[in-house]
Chains A and B, each alone.
Chain A
Amino acid sequence: MTDRLESIASARPVAWFTRQWSQRPLFSTLCALVVMIVLQTIALGFDQGSFLGWLSLWTRNWLNILRNNATIGIIALGMTFVIITGGIDLAVGSTLVAVGAVVMIFIDGSTTGLLTSLGITGAPAYVIGILVGIVVGLALGQVTGLLITVGKLPPFIATLGMMNICRSVTQQCMQTVNPSVPRGFTQIANLSVGGQMFMPIIYWLVIAFIMHYISRHTAFGRHVYAIGSNEKAAKLSGINTQAVKRTVYTIMGALVAIASVLQVSRIGSMDYANAGSGYEMDAIAAVIVGGTSMAGGKGTIAGTVLGVLIIAVVNNLLNLLGVPPFLREAFKGVIVIVAVLLQKKEKV
């Protein structure tokens, strides 16, 4: 009798676990993250003098992870919407460089700077620079959206083209100009509070919260899902599918612009040839690991945040274990494949 009771008692958490696992797509993602965090904590080691010493090391390590992934994190939020509609955006890395170049020209602190020569410096110049950057991001996103809706190009092709155009034009234009980032501008990302730089993390989480709200509680957000799941039915329900898709790519452009401002501010310069390259794949990988379906119609913003964290924690773990950098990309590949394999199993 007691035996049976015990077995029931012990079966209950297992049953709860399997039910959560099969019913909530986010649960498995969350479990994966927890496992990774445990492994990462072990790898970090406990050989500090005191618990407080260890805690501060652990916290610093975490703030580092979050800070370093805020840029990709913001881009992945926009990518989530794009992929839920059944599309893809390969141009994010190049858009980042294009926007970054425009912003730097506007905020250039040297005497030849665009705004400096007009006598505008400091905060007003930064605000103008950031606004112009966001407008450029919106415009590039709108062009992509028009190519996909009016031009009826597959998103892969349209954004592949935009990717090449943006980077190459930026590189050509920036051959002779070399704007410098004023110290004040770097404070946007590097402002230190209590010895720690929180700003990028705050930007990321605030935007994530807004995007989550849009996806759940606005008609536009629900239309994004409807289009990804069944575009024809969405259209025949009176949804302007073209406008929704265009807006999705435009939001993507704006978020890339914000990520670009953050990147310029954090690093204080921009390498036009290499900055942002591979970001599209990192963002797509995070979205997929976060449980969004490549086929569209399914996915969550929260999942994407977890996806970014999983990839980031694994990277950090490999770093702590001293795995050579070249091999780390392979692990990223393994995570993506395993994540999608697990998602497939859920369906069957």
Chain B
Amino acid sequence: MNLEMRNISKSFSTNLVLDGVDFTLEGSEIKALLGENGAGKSTLMNILGGVIDANGGQIFLDGRSVSFSSPKDSLEAGIAFIHQELNLINDLAIYENLFIGREIRRRGRLLDHEAMIRATEEVFQRMDLDLDPRTMVRDLDASYKQIVEISRAMLMNARLVIMDEPTTSLTDPEIERVFAMMRTLSRQGVGIIFISHKLNEVMDICHSYTVLRDGRMVASGLVKDVTSSRLASFMVGHDVVEHTRTASEIGPLVLEGRGLGDGRHFSDISFCVHKGEVVGFTGLLGDGRSELFQAVFGAGRFTSGQLLLEGSEVHVKTTSQAVGLGIGYVPRNRKENGIVKDMTIFENGSLATMSSRRKGLFFMDEDRLEEEFQAQRRALRIKMDGEDDPITSLSGGNQQKVVLARWLSAQPRVLILDNPTQGVDVGAKEEIYEIILSLAQRGVAVVVLSSEAQEVMRVASRCYVMYHGRIMDCLSAGQMSEKEIMRLATGVEEQ
């Protein structure tokens, strides 16, 4: 099936997300759709999948103009969208998952299991797949779950499959299996749009590519005519921002990891952070950096390696123990992990220090907590009416500052910040960077985890780039560039 999307535009309120994007796919090719986070890939594919409406532009299928007002329309036209979060029910068999909502029934409304199993087997045959339709989905590994999603698309006679970062949570052999399936489908005339961050995978599996940046189509062509580092520079653009940060006074070693692994998300991680230093950790979705530092903070476990704090090995089993050791952690996803929505601004800002600031045996030293909170409120310039107002009355940036205040009051030796500027507007972002830098100047060892290369370059004097649970390299301030970070984060080896 030939697809042509012409001059597609989309804006959310005043924010232009897609600006006249053209996207084509011919016949049964495998096409990569590339771009950084926020480049507009998901929006474009959601328009094709009928999830959202475009503001302008046209879609042609085999030369005919079409418009989709719901995912059902799109599906009936032969387009299947496989989302990153798979849509399978673990406690049902494969064939039941395939037919969910469209069950084949006998007369008398009872389910016709045999017919459904037979139909599933036929699809599997077409896909060259040796799998028992009666297997429970729970018993499948991640790659087969992906494949079951694809077979559901085949069952509905999809001629074009959109796959949104299908390899994120897969191991290497599992990725190979999914790729083999994609090649089989392509041979049988099914077109595939492959959304990915991983350039080496794109080089391996795709025939052609389209790169989006800031809502525009910036490059398109055949994969055989391009190199992966060229793709990386398309993604970040040529105008790489000059890095202006000067290296700060660096003290003795504070936090060190030696060969750390958790047997799942990351392995063989060695790193070090010095007093007064801001160290960045970056990578793309699924690189394992969040899991790594949650384990450092006691909210996860290491299965191998050693963690050293000021030279002596520590085993952090609970988060309260981590706080006792002087480790602080500002989590990602403020809403889920950061704020306690039923509590006041003051309480949210004192959550980490409540138990250590005591008066007598039992009671909180409320005066001291109050004093400390007020000091942080002034230093961080938190805008609020009353400290006893609910935390939810504040803007995102101010909520994030309250979470920062929570940890600054605890005066940690090591402060880990995971995506510290997520959901924060530009002005507050810059303020948070200043806070991070001044912390380091006061002798705190700071670790900043971020998926934004620019953010890491703004604050960090050194940065580790992770890919698939491993550290690819450690870049010094002079070596850091968006292009280089993107190259390492997408798993491209030095050429």
Contact = CB atoms under 8 A, between A and B. Distances in A.
Contact of A232 (B297, B320, B337, B355): B337
Contacts of A223: 354-355
Contacts of B410: 238
A243 B351 CA distance: 16
B339 A222 contact: no
A230 B335 CA distance: 9
Nearest to B323: A238
Contacts of A229: 340-343
B40 interface: no
Contact of A222 (B331, B336, B354, B406): B354
A93 to B, nearest CB: 30
A10 interface: no
Q: Is the interface of A mostly helix, strand, loop or mixed?
A: helix
B20 interface: no
Contacts of A217: 363-364, 366
B366 A240 contact: no
A246 to B, nearest CB: 13
Contact of B320 (A214, A225, A238): A238
A237 B343 contact: no
A230 B342 CA distance: 8
Most B-side CB within 10 Å, residue of A234, A238, A239, A243: A238
B364 A234 contact: no
A214 B355 CA distance: 13
B388 to A, nearest CB: 12
Interface in B367-412: 406, 410
B320 A239 contact: yes
A219 B329 contact: no
A222 B347 contact: yes
Contacts of B338: 233, 236
Contacts of B319: 235-240
Nearest to A297: B342
B223 interface: no
Interface string A49-91: 0000000000000000000000000000000000000000000
A233 B348 CA distance: 10
Given A238-B320, A240-B319, A222 B364 contact: yes
Interface string B348-369: 0001101100100011101000
Interface string B304-336: 000000000000001110110000010100001
Nearest to A242: B318
A91 B347 CA distance: 32
Contacts of B93: none
Contacts of A236: 297, 299, 319, 329, 331, 337-338
A239 B355 contact: yes
A298 interface: yes
B372 to A, nearest CB: 14
A124 to B, nearest CB: 28
B340 A234 contact: yes
Contacts of B362: 214, 218, 220
A219 B299 contact: no
Given A218-B362, A222-B364, A239-B320, A234 B339 contact: no
A140 interface: no
B358 A226 contact: no
B340 A226 contact: yes
Nearest to B294: A236
A238 B317 CA distance: 11
A243 B319 CA distance: 12
B320 A240 contact: yes
B356 to A, nearest CB: 8
B341 A230 contact: yes
Interface in A216-262: 217-220, 222-223, 225-226, 228-230, 232-240, 242-243
A239 B363 contact: no
B241 to A, nearest CB: 32
B337 A233 contact: yes
Contacts of A243: 320
Interface string A4-16: 0000000000000
B320 A226 contact: no
B198 to A, nearest CB: 29
A218 B318 CA distance: 21
Nearest to B327: A238
Contacts of B329: 236, 238
Most B-side CB within 10 Å, residue of A225, A228, A233: A233
Contacts of B323: 238
A235 B354 contact: no
A232 B329 CA distance: 13
A106 B274 CA distance: 62
B113 to A, nearest CB: 33
A71 to B, nearest CB: 26
A236 B329 CA distance: 7
Nearest to A221: B364
Contact of A237 (B318, B351, B366): B351
Interface in B197-214: none
A297 B318 CA distance: 22
A226 B340 CA distance: 6
Contact of B406 (A218, A235, A237, A242): A237
A234 B352 CA distance: 9
B148 to A, nearest CB: 29
B443 to A, nearest CB: 21
B412 to A, nearest CB: 10
Nearest to B364: A219
A195 to B, nearest CB: 38
B338 to A, nearest CB: 6
A242 B299 CA distance: 12
A219 B340 CA distance: 15
A222 B340 CA distance: 11
Given A235-B319, A238-B319, A297-B342, A219 B336 contact: no
Contacts of B347: 222, 226
A92 B362 CA distance: 26
A215 B339 CA distance: 20
Contact of B318 (A214, A233, A240, A298): A240
B351 A234 contact: yes
A126 to B, nearest CB: 28
A219 B355 contact: yes
B339 A230 contact: yes
Contact of B354 (A219, A232, A233, A242): A219
A226 B343 contact: yes
A222 B188 CA distance: 62
Contacts of A232: 336-337
A214 B364 CA distance: 10
Contacts of B351: 222, 226, 233-234, 237-239
Contacts of A239: 319-320, 351, 355
A242 B320 CA distance: 11
Given A219-B355, A222-B364, A236-B319, 8 more contacts: A219-B354, A220-B355, A222-B351, A223-B354, A232-B336, A233-B336, A237-B352, A240-B318
List the 7 shortest-distance A-B pairs measured between CB atoms, nearest first. A238-B323, A229-B342, A219-B354, A240-B320, A219-B355, A297-B342, A237-B351
7 contacts: A217-B363, A219-B354, A219-B364, A229-B341, A233-B340, A236-B319, A238-B322
